[in-house]
Amino acid sequence: MLPDELPDGLYDRLLDRGLLEALEPLRSQGAADIRRLSPSERRTRLIKALAEVLAEIVDDRDSKLASTEQGDPLLSLFNKLLVTTRQSVGKTDEPSGWISPPQVLQSIHRRGNALELPQTGLLSPWLFTAGRGDPALLAELRTELAAANRVDILMSFITWSGVRRLLDVFEAATAIDADGKPRTRFRIITTTYIGATELQAVVKLASLPGVQVRISLDGRRSRLHAKAWLFHRATGFGSAYVGSANLTGAALIGGLEWTVKFTQAGQSDLYAAAEAHFETLWNDPEFEPFHANDAAHRERLQAALRQESGSGSNVPTTWFDLQPKAYQQAMLDRLTAERRHGRMRNLVVAATGTGKTMVAAFDYQRTIGEQGGRTTQTAVRRASR
């Protein structure tokens, strides 16, 4: 490969000796940037690169390695590579390779019938666009729900039209087993933002065995737009769906929605990141536990939904009982420390959407309180509008 064959632009390509030599003229001119992989990147990048090389070998020699009566030469090639690799690291007592013809374990079902595999599988990513001929999002969600040990749902809006289309699967998944426990446990996070969530839908889900619901009752404070399903399996073959579709009938059937699926076995880093962020939100005090059999909980949720939808605008509501988030509190503490050292002009730098205006309001509230000024919530209330 010659330097002229490499167009200008961004790259993220692992170097081999041939490419390094081809880049030497450009490097001498300062026209090529190269960096070393960090220790955390090495494993993922090298495994990915090896897989790509093997794919090229398969594509190049596939016609020459057609299966014969004596066996599968392609499988034999891979098994030799596997054995050599294991021997190089001293693992000589492990199985010698994959069987011929290649086969895949799809399920183990000691109780009940065989489990149905999602049409999009449990390894590869997928983009659901409601395109003609594509797998339907609703059908895949039903299949995933029927074969999960635990499900985490993060949803801006939950309506009865959406719950109704999955209710039979929800009820089957949460049915009490012979041990007196629900087969699948659910954790659901939602909001009252713009009043779109429906009380009937939340109450129904929260009343099912093994279902926990947490909800933000202040739509002005929490504008959660995320829509995600995380299907956890003890087998290690979990799935995650993240996109634009809320738990509504319109979104699940025929809506112009995009939803990306990624898997625990195939895209482990993304799956782990989704798990971690869900845990963060689940433990955020802004999302309060909701119990379907608690009349006070139902009344508070109904009032919040009416307020957000505008139908309850004549009902007086307090919006200024706000508390800083943990990272905002860290900013406030740092400002206080700087002022104690006599540094009164400070600049707060933070990403868009992290609440810099709210930090200013909380800081003002604390400052006037420390200086003996008039105690007020006005700044915080105005900042929340």
**And the tokens for 363?**
């800081």
Residue 316: is its pLDDT beyond 60?
no
Name which of 145-159, 233-247, 352-366 the model is least confident about: 352-366
Dihedral of CA 66/68/70/71: which sign?
positive
Nearest partner of 214 among 277, 291, 322, 318, judged by Cα: 291
Q: To which residue do tokens 């008039």 refer? A: 374
Give the pLDDT of residue 219: 65
- For the chain, give the mean pLDDT: 85
The contacts of residue 292 (CB under 8 Å, 6+ apart) are: 202, 203, 204, 206, 207, 213, 298
Residue 39: is its pLDDT beyond 90?
no
Average pLDDT over residues 156-174: 96
Give the pLDDT of residue 143: 95
Query: Which is more confident, 318 or 286?
Result: 286
Task: List pLDDT tens digits, range 192-212.
Answer: 988 999 999 999 999 999 999
Domains of the chain are 3-88 (no CATH), 126-309 (3.30.870.10), 326-383 (no CATH)
- Predicted confidence band of residue 294 (pLDDT cuts 50, 70, 90): very high
Name which of 37-46, 231-240, 372-381 the model is least confident about: 372-381
Residue 124: is its pLDDT beyond 60?
yes
Q: Quote the pTM value.
A: 0.73
Residue 280: is its pLDDT beyond 50?
yes
Give the pLDDT of residue 383: 47
- Predicted confidence band of residue 82 (pLDDT cuts 50, 70, 90): confident
Query: Which is more confident, 16 or 4?
Result: 16
The contacts of residue 216 (CB under 8 Å, 6+ apart) are: 190, 191, 192, 193, 222, 224, 286, 287, 288
Residue 379: is its pLDDT beyond 70?
no
Residue 184: is its pLDDT beyond 70?
yes
12, with CB counted inside 10 A (0-12, 13-18, 19+), is exposed
Of these ranges, 29-43, 87-101, 360-374, the one predicted with the greatest mean pLDDT is 29-43
